[in-house]
Amino acid sequence: MVLSPSPAPTPAPAPAPAAAAAPARTKLTHSGGVLQKNREFLDFFWDIAKPEQEIRLMAISGLLEYLRSSEGDDLEYTIQRLIEGLAATRETARPGFSLALAQVLQCKETILLRTILEQIKKKHDINITKKKFIRNAVFGNFFGVLALSQSGRLIKEPDILLESIQLLQSLSKYRQYLRDLPAKTIMDILSETPENVFKKILFGALQEDMSSAFSTPAQLHLLLVALQRFPKVLKPKNLKKLLGSSAILSPENVAKLIELLKVAARSVKKDQTLPPLALDLVRVTLQEGTFEMFWKDVVENGLLKEPSGPTSYFCFRLLGASLPLLSLSQLNLVLTGEVMRQYGDHVVIAQLPKRFRFGPEMTNLVDSFLESTQDEAKQFMVIKGFSSLTNYGHPVIPSYWKVVCRLQSSVLVKYVDWLKNMFTSPDFDICTEFSTKRQKENKQAIDRTQHSVVRLRSWIVARLISIVDNWQVKKEEDLVMDIARFIFFHAFFGAKRYTSDIPETEVTLTIPLDEKTRDMMESSFFCLLNHLNSLPPLGDSAELGDKNEKRVFGVTADGNLWIYCLVQYASVLLSQERSVQAVKPFTQIQRKAWDRMLQSVEDLQKKSKTARKQEASAFQLLFLLVGIQLFKVGEDSLALLSDLHKCVEEWEQKKIKKHSTHVTRKEEPDWVEVMVEILLSFLSQPNRLMRQVSKMVFTRICPHVTKEALQLILDVFNPESEEGEESALIVTEDFEKSQTKADWSNDDEMEDESDSDESEEEEDNNDNDDGADDSDEDKSEEDAEEEREEAVDENFRMELMKVLQTTNAISKEGESSSDEEADDETMMALDKNIAALFSERKKRLQAAKDKKEKMMKEKALRKNFKIKVLDLIEVFLAKQPENPLIFDIIEPLIAIIEENLSSHSNQQEQDYLRKAADIFKNQLCKAKTYCQNISEMKEDLHKLMERLVSRASKQSDSSVSLYCFSGALYLLRVLKGKAINPAITDKTEKGEKAKTGQVDSFGNMDMKKVTELYQGALTLFMTRRKCSLTGSMFGNLFSRFPVMCERLLPLAIVSITDGIREHQRGQACCLVLQALQSQDVRQSFPGDKWNELITEVISQVTQCLKTVTAVKLKVEQEEVRKCLELVQFLVKTVTQQRLDISLAELTSVLQSLEELEDACKISDLYWHVMKLLGFKKPQKVKVKAQLPNPAAAPGPLKKKKGFLPETKKRKNWKKKKTPTLENEQIKKENPDGKSDEAPKATSDRMDKKKKKKFRKRKKTPKENAAGNTEKTQEPPAKKSKKKSDGGKSNQLG
């Protein structure tokens, strides 16, 4: 790496040794007095050794710049310092010094490489180095040669090159340190060496290594690199002298190559990469023309026979990495061989849990190949080869494969044609078919051909749909339409003869479609319709569109819907009865309905250009969707089409006549109601397309929704209406079951189905045993449960007694029983009767179990249906926020939250609850716009608000109460309306105000009713112990509606002392503080009223603080803290506004709080308030710990310096202590030995505590790390330990 000579900023100085620890910019003098180095120059070497790469590069660049401008012997010192750093102990420092030395040699060409090499050998001579420094010396030699190689001058001096190669060869024996680094360095040098230099100088030096190429993978790799670099030198004749054969791959070398590749595969087991030896070997075999032999004999017949995993993964990686190097014939050989079959077997087995999966890595290899190559034939060969790897007809690659997006447009069209041909004429001869080991052992008599055809066709259909669905695939509209026509044709039609108008009739099916495949095709087609409905614009239309223009999905470039294009194609098919035959032919009624539907769609297209475009497009979309469903469910679609026609007629009549008659309104439902019923029927079907279309249509017709139509939607959430929906939901369940069986268009479901079958067959014996055990346990639990049910079933017991009594199996009272009383025929009859009884019992239990499961499924279907219907509510709230019908949605949403909040047992109910709560909170309560014209319904809104507040206060859960209270606040905002300036005098503005029904600044709100309502709620909160209302609810009311804050303030002030518990009193203080901080409240209390208000609040707070006797509990602390916050505001207000209010009583009460126990927990806030009153917090006097007086200490002083502390000394407590002179003296003074026992024990305990503290301080690692290393006394301590040990031994001796 060559660095630019541009100056680099000076890095921060690194820590230097004691010799360099002088102040910055001071000169350091060499011992000889010749060299003088400044701090900046020395810092370069410290920065080169740092682990950060950026700092190293900046230091090297700065060093080079310094050497260019310096004079003297700095260069010699630099070379010496860099050579020393090559053997640094830090791993990150060695590469930095090597790179720096290479750059210096490249910059200063006057330096002789021989001199540098000799200095490296002399400085890091392995022969004279001590054993513990051999590792550093080995690295010093290696990085020295690496520096010479990176300087770029090694090739110019062949003698030095030869010596460097020989030095690297000598370092190869230190594999425990360097591994393959010397061999890799030699290969890097060979890649830059000219051919004549290699032939004259290096060939002889490397001849021994190359002749033993089949000994180690590194030596073989060296030979392979030389063969590719110098083919004229290593001719077949010279190669035969080295190896005994004229080519690398020969029949004699196959076994050796297999063993070497096995070693190479195991060496990269942890890295999970392909050894570089493998690709070089592939390149050499391609040059020699022996690739087929290499792949067959070495890979397939050699490495694949090894049962270990690393060799198999080596083969898989070699297959994926060698794809760019191969020709078409060689690609065919690789993609149809045993390696692919082994890979397919691995993919099937890897579906089991806790198995290594190579599939993602192979996907990345194929993706990189398709991205790098531009050869269309190779792209098609590879994508076709992987798609042809099948297990019983099912390809192992997923149907949604991301590499398809790398295909060129022409290759993608060719690939789609190949898939369609494989669908119509399945040819398993061109497929790479494989069977797993378990499948080969399983010899069941089933039709494998038909089974394989069904699996292959289902995968092909899923792959075609994934091409349409994947937005990353570059495709044109013609290709998308071709795929849609193909799937629609084979789902609902069959070809009689060829016609040019219908390209799908050109090829007939070699194997007819069975019923299962037809069902799959039908479901797949509607899945494709769903993707087409949300498909962005394709081709040039997507690129030419305006970026600021809103993108329309589901339409073609000419503006037509994709579903409309398919309906036109269906009309063409229906008109070609001679060439095409429908699977379910239309009746005359269905054909008339089809023709009428087409005519209605054409009429609606003409009307969609008018002002009522939204409604026309909604009708058009419904007509097309219901019409195309005639091919699947004819009778149901006929009824829906009839209803749609009536809706269109009524819509057109209302378009002409603005108001309809009351008689018509009462006799027949409105067209919107019919549309809503149709949409609800769509949502009851487990189909994503129906859900999406319903949402789109309802978005366009929601401005026309009436109260009755909205009530139809809300009735779905009514628990009483579930009984009426039971029959429809049962039908829906059957439809879902049939669709689930046939819906193979979903890629994930299809892959799970196929792979799980094969994975179960591929489980090991242990896995099978475990699964059997688990199943046995489940069965045993079920049996136990059945036995428990039988035990409590008295009817079954009586029936069993009757059966036994009829055959005299049970002796009657007073009679003896014996086994000889019943003959064989009687016993056989008894066995049959008992077996029949138990069989009937088992059937009855199974029927009850099935009924329970059916009820659970119906409940899940009903809940899923409600989740879908919530989409319509969400759309209505988003599109019609000013519609007065929104008020009818509030209570049903709250009922959903109430019902499900306490019973969310599974994930589905949690999703249902979360969605309903999100709609209520974000779409309704937080809506930016709301209904304005409410003068006619203000009484109903007041009643609704009363119900919500009452409902909130009666809840058992405060979270539900919060939603009810939020709904009441939303109604309060609606009733209040927009703020109106009371100073309005303009007549026009007064007229507008009269139109909206707003009389004053309160809008349509009845202030008296509302005030009484919230006063009752606040009283309930302050006086009831268990209340679902919370202080945050009223805080939200105060902040959003200051007009209510003013009216509820007196009640909040009284509650400061009248609150039933500490929590309520604290919340009252919060509410009062929030009210007093409001500017609107301040303006509503002018002059003396404000003084009276502040005086009253101070009085209440003072009385509240007088009742405080302790602050131990958390609620007590919270109460005092809230009171102090309010007092702080009051004191500031009195002092800043200079109000004539006395604070003497409050001050005395606050002073008494300091004497309470645990008052320190509120100390900060308390003294902040006292500071406002003129009191200062007393300063705590820190008393220093007095050290004991050495003169007064009894006994002789112990010398601490240089000795171990007492806590470090090893003591044996079990042995009796030897008597010392001090103990003897104590005994003489106290001969009885009684008076000093207790004080001595106490002093011993105190000494132990001091020793523990001393030990903790001594053992703290942070203090040891932060302290100066020069002050540590470890060596004297070691000496003292020896002395103390010796002293102990002498004393004990």
* DSSP result, 445-487: ---HHHHHHHHHHHHHHHHHHHHHH-TTS---HHHHHHHHHHH
> Using one digit for the tens of pLDDT, what is the confidence trace for 763-811?
333 433 444 444 444 444 444 444 444 444 677 777 777 777 766 554 4
Q: What is the mean pLDDT of residues 738-759?
A: 39
Q: What does residue 1007 show for φ and ψ, rounded to 5 degrees?
A: -65, -35
pLDDT at residue 944 greater than cutoff 50 = yes
> Using one digit for the tens of pLDDT, what is the confidence trace for 497-513?
888 888 888 888 889 89
Handedness of CA 1236, 1241, 1245, 1250 (dihedral sign): positive
CB 477 within 8 A of CB 560: no
Q: What is the largest CA-CA distance in the chain?
A: 135
What is the distance between the alpha carbons of residues 18 and 337, in angstroms, rounded to a whole number?
Answer: 69
pLDDT at residue 757 greater than cutoff 70 = no
Beta strands of 90-143 (E only): which ranges? none
Of residues 1198 and 967, more confidence is placed in 967
983 pLDDT band, cuts 50/70/90, is very low
pLDDT at residue 753 greater than cutoff 60 = no
Nearest to 696 by CA among 618, 644, 634: 618
Q: What is the mean pLDDT of residues 1021-1033?
A: 91
- Which has the minimum average pLDDT: 330-339, 421-430, 1000-1009, 1196-1205? 1196-1205
The bridge status of strand 389-391 relative to strand 580-582 is unpaired
Helix (H, G, I), strand (E, B) or coil at 956: coil
Q: What pLDDT is attached to residue 1281?
A: 38
Q: What pLDDT is attached to residue 169?
A: 87
Which residue's structure tokens are 């008659």? 661
Neighbours of 1166 (CB within 10 A): 22
**Average per-residue pLDDT for the chain:** 78
In DSSP terms, 28 is beta-bridged to: 37
740 pLDDT band, cuts 50/70/90, is very low
What is the distance between the alpha carbons of residues 550 and 565, in angstroms, rounded to a whole number?
Answer: 23
CB 317 within 8 A of CB 274: yes
- Specify the DSSP element, H or E, that contains 494: strand 493-495
What is the distance between the alpha carbons of residues 695 and 701, in angstroms, rounded to a whole number?
Answer: 10
CB 62 within 8 A of CB 45: no
Of residues 347 and 1185, more confidence is placed in 347
Q: What is the mean pLDDT of residues 235-252?
A: 85
In DSSP terms, 463 is beta-bridged to: none
Q: What pLDDT is attached to residue 761?
A: 39
- Which has the minimum average pLDDT: 207-216, 274-283, 547-556? 547-556
Q: What pLDDT is attached to residue 1211?
A: 60
Q: What pLDDT is attached to residue 1177?
A: 81
Nearest to 556 by CA among 571, 572, 547, 568: 568
Q: What pLDDT is attached to residue 1264?
A: 42
- Which has the minimum average pLDDT: 61-65, 301-305, 872-876, 1258-1262? 1258-1262
- Residue 179 CA: distances (Å) to CA of 97, 131, 168, 184, 350: 21, 19, 12, 10, 34
What is the distance between the alpha carbons of residues 1015 and 1100, in angstroms, rounded to a whole number?
Answer: 19
Of residues 721 and 1246, more confidence is placed in 721
Of residues 1238 and 314, more confidence is placed in 314
994 pLDDT band, cuts 50/70/90, is very low
pLDDT at residue 931 greater than cutoff 60 = yes
177 pLDDT band, cuts 50/70/90, is confident
Handedness of CA 855, 861, 864, 869 (dihedral sign): negative
Q: What would the two tokens of residue 36 be?
A: 């003088």
Q: Which range has the top average pLDDT, 190-194, 481-485, 550-554, 818-822?
A: 481-485
In DSSP terms, 581 is beta-bridged to: 494
1186 pLDDT band, cuts 50/70/90, is low
Q: What pLDDT is attached to residue 1183?
A: 61
According to DSSP, residue 555 is labeled B
> Using one digit for the tens of pLDDT, what is the confidence trace for 1050-1099?
999 999 999 989 999 999 999 999 999 988 888 888 888 898 999 999 99
Q: Strand order of the sheet with strand 389-391?
A: 394-395, 389-391, 432-433
Q: What would the two tokens of residue 477 be?
A: 């509209």
pLDDT at residue 730 greater than cutoff 60 = no
Q: What is the mean pLDDT of residues 409-420?
A: 94
> Using one digit for the tens of pLDDT, what is the confidence trace for 433-460?
888 878 777 766 556 788 889 999 999 9
What is the distance between the alpha carbons of residues 636 and 925, in angstroms, rounded to a whole number?
Answer: 40
1204 pLDDT band, cuts 50/70/90, is low
Q: What is the mean pLDDT of residues 168-172?
A: 87
Q: What pLDDT is attached to residue 1206?
A: 65
pLDDT at residue 1262 greater than cutoff 70 = no
pLDDT at residue 487 greater than cutoff 90 = yes
Of residues 610 and 249, more confidence is placed in 249
- Specify the DSSP element, H or E, that contains 146: helix 134-150
Instruction: Calculate the dihedral angle through the C-alpha atoms of 707, 708, 714, 716, rounding to the nearest 10 degrees.
Output: -170
DSSP string, 1161-1217: GGHHHHHHHHHHTT--PPPPP-PPPPPPPTTTSSSPPP--TTS--GGGS---SSSPP
Helix (H, G, I), strand (E, B) or coil at 580: strand
- Specify the DSSP element, H or E, that contains 57: helix 53-69
CB 629 within 8 A of CB 678: no
Which residue's structure tokens are 């308030």? 1169
Q: What would the two tokens of residue 1200 be?
A: 């601490």
Q: What is the mean pLDDT of residues 854-865?
A: 89
> Using one digit for the tens of pLDDT, what is the confidence trace for 515-529?
889 999 999 999 999
- pTM here is 0.73
What is the distance between the alpha carbons of residues 989 and 827, in angstroms, rounded to a whole number?
Answer: 103
CB 950 within 8 A of CB 965: no
Q: What is the mean pLDDT of residues 1011-1017?
A: 93
The three-state (H, E, C) secondary structure of 499-537, written as one string: ECCEHHHCCCCCCCCCHHHHHHHHHHHHHHHHHHHCCCC
